[in-house]
Structure 1
Amino acid sequence: MMMKIVISDDRFGWNDEEEQAFSGFSAELVVADCHTEPDVIAACADADAILLNQAPVTAAVVEKLRRCRVISRYGIGYDNVDIRAAEKKGIWVTNVPGYCTEEVAEHALGMLLCCVRRIPFKDRGVRRGGWNLNQPIRRMSGRTLGILGFGATGRAFWEKVQGFGFSRILVCDPSIERKLLPGMFGEAASFDDVIGCSDFISLHLPLREDTRHIINRRTIANMKDGAIIINTSRGPVINEDDLIEALNTGKLGAAGLDVFEREPLPPSSPLIGMDNVILTDHSAYYSQEAVSILKTRTAMNARDVLEGRVPKTAVNRPRV
């Protein structure tokens, strides 16, 4: 029987890399358009491999997968997959770490610069005929930057900000002592020190139970008045209602957000109408080079499993 490989929800509009990765392999490649659990079940129940973007693969979905051997996720995060359910059913789950490290770090830096200099606000004002759109802006040099999370993207961001003249760069991560490069500027700090001492905070955290809503009313209250938050990690690390409240009251000066608690961002979200917020569409990962790498590695992870090899970047270890 020919194997079936399903791309559950295509975000990119082409499949050249996937077709190349499965060249010479006896399989049917199917592109679906899944958004809900029933969608995934209907499209993937008889799949041998799922190449997964953002569709939900819950325990209920996993239960209905009759032949699946691997769920290969396009991306670093895998919070839309029930890992335990997949492992119990003998299904590998894989991801693609590192494919967009530079892109995310650059995006975070771009958002920080735009928030500090109020560039989108000024751009909109000039287009409406405005001029002399001066608002209180303070220089970045001489102030304190905090980085929460020091995985690949947090580290790349830290390397990129070395020349900006910060008085301090505070970095919070459990393994920070082993990761700071000698001869570069930065110091290990506790979460409370980063929150309490930083003028600018960039989030590079994975989404786990201990990081969900780690930025909330209580932690925001401990921040400096007018602090700026950048989030290119995962939306739910911030309690969005608490963030909106702090931005409205002026407790926080601005926020740059690429990720949200609900995606796409609902049209009714108060964030859309706020001048002190920069919004992008969960696209910090994107460059043409990064997407090509992502698609190739996602397909190759699935092919490895289907040909009996242990995948290079597995996030679980099923008993198979």
Structure 2
Amino acid sequence: MSGKAKVVLTDYVWESLDVEHRTLEGIADLIPFKAAAPAEFLEQAADCDALLNTYAGPITAEVIGQMPRCKVIARYGIGVDTIDLAAATEAGIIVTNNPTYCVDEVAEHAMALMLSAARKIAFYDRRVRSGEWAVPPGKPMTRLAGKTLGLVGFGNIARKVAARAAAFDMRVVFSDPFVESGQFTVPGEKQELDAVLEQADFLSVHPPLTTATRGLIGDAAFARMKPSSILINVARGPIVDTAALVRALDAGRIAGCALDTTDPEPLPNPHPLRGRENVIITPHAAWYSEEAMVGLQSGAPSEVRRVLSGEWPINVVNPAVKGRNRAGL
């Protein structure tokens, strides 16, 4: 090993690490893994200066305790629910994420799922592929214009969805305890969560996964929704209580759902959500585009380079660590 810093990459799903090597050139050596769990990379991470992380986890307090030199944990994606932020902060480790690389992609995917559910695209495609050519099996369908889109959470992605939905002449309401009414210029009327649930023809969930939001959409939420409503999830699977969702579909409490994220994930086969005509599932693909890949791959290594160069990183998710961290920043 050289006198340069040591950066461990826990896992990655792209073909080349050229971006990482270029970004860290001259300042750090990269040790890449394709790990599924910390046990697979911890031996090398024990003396690392930085950790790059995609999916492998969770990065618990115990894991953090075994990386005494680590100055920064940089997530390639947006969510940091797999990292114990309190433990990282206590240890003096800066944690960063990559909050904007796929905002447009996920918003587009949410709209695509909404349109597919409303127009029954997947349903009709399956029928045509099987040799059938008929409109009546898909009845009833109604137009999107004039319908109400309810957004749970009103962050970057949700606001992009709101703007797109408004272009379809939809009414937008949202619930978000961290956003004030009128704070943003995009369409959307702030309401309490129960009111959003009761009014939404389409309910799209967008909060981060936290202790407070885990299972947020469960039996009580489904009981308030219209029987004609469609649930959309492009955020995190555990925000929706899967067992409660299955019960709601079985009982006809909602009309269907369109999911890019599930709990568990990948969704087992067989599973009660699979094979239903009123359920659309994509394999956590909302984040992806060729353009997003560029931002995804460069974001986390750039944050690591900043920290190792003595600069405060851009997207810090535990700001309380400033002034009391191992990097001395």
1:137 and 2:141 are equivalent in the alignment:
yes
Deviation sequence 1:270-307 (CA, Å, 0-9, x none): 21222211111112111111121122111011111112
Q: Which residues of 2 match residues 145-156 of structure 1 at below 5 A?
A: 145-156=149-160
Q: Distance in 2 between matches of 1:31 and 1:207?
A: 27
SS of aligned partner of 1:177: coil
Corresponding residue number in structure 2 for 1:179: 183
Q: What letter is aligned with 1:169?
A: V
1:310 and 2:312 are equivalent in the alignment:
yes
Q: Distance in 1 between matches of 2:187 and 2:310?
A: 46
Q: What letter is aligned with 2:299?
A: R
Deviation sequence 1:216-260 (CA, Å, 0-9, x none): 011101111121011111111100111011112222111111112
Structure 2, gaps ≥5 residues long: none
Instruction: Decide which of 65, 86, 89 is 2:88's aligned counterpart.
Output: 86
Q: What letter is aligned with 1:108?
A: A
Q: Distance in 2 between matches of 1:186 and 1:178?
A: 8
Q: Distance in 2 between matches of 1:126 and 1:43?
A: 53
Q: Distance in 1 between matches of 2:77 and 2:316?
A: 12
Corresponding residue number in structure 2 for 1:41: 42
SS of aligned partner of 2:166: coil
Q: Which residues of 2 match residues 158-307 of structure 1 at below 5 A?
A: 158-166=162-170, 168-174=171-177, 175-181=179-185, 185-307=187-309
SS of aligned partner of 1:270: coil
Corresponding residue number in structure 1 for 2:31: 30
Could you tell me whether the CA contact under 8 Å between 2:257 and 2:278 is conserved in 1? yes
Structure 1, gaps ≥5 residues long: none
Q: Distance in 2 between matches of 1:66 and 1:189?
A: 46
Percent identical among aligned pairs is 39
Q: Distance in 1 between matches of 2:187 and 2:215?
A: 29
SS of aligned partner of 2:274: helix
What is the aligned residue count?
316
Q: Distance in 2 between matches of 1:309 and 1:11?
A: 28
Instruction: Decide which of 16, 32, 36 is 2:18's aligned counterpart.
Output: 16
Deviation sequence 1:132-185 (CA, Å, 0-9, x none): 15322222222221111111001111111112223x32122231414341xx64
Could you tell me whether the CA contact under 8 Å between 2:165 and 2:172 is conserved in 1? no
Deviation sequence 1:104-132 (CA, Å, 0-9, x none): 11000000000111111111111111121
Could you tell me whether the CA contact under 8 Å between 1:111 and 1:256 is conserved in 2? yes
Tell me how far 1:61 sits from its aligned partner. Answer: 0.9
Q: Distance in 2 between matches of 1:12 and 1:185?
A: 36
Q: Distance in 2 between matches of 1:173 and 1:126?
A: 41
Q: Distance in 1 between matches of 2:264 and 2:246?
A: 14
The CA RMSD measured in Å over matched residues stands at 1.5
Q: Distance in 1 between matches of 2:206 and 2:235?
A: 5
TM-score, normalised by the number of residues in structure 1: 0.94
Q: What letter is aligned with 1:28?
A: D
Q: Distance in 2 between matches of 1:176 and 1:277?
A: 34
Tell me how far 1:200 sits from its aligned partner. Answer: 0.8
Q: What letter is aligned with 2:101?
A: Y
1:72/1:172 CA distance change after superposition, 3 Å: same
1:109 and 2:111 are equivalent in the alignment:
yes
SS of aligned partner of 1:78: coil
SS of aligned partner of 2:225: coil
Could you tell me whether the CA contact under 8 Å between 1:37 and 1:58 is conserved in 2? no
1:185/1:68 CA distance change after superposition, 3 Å: closer
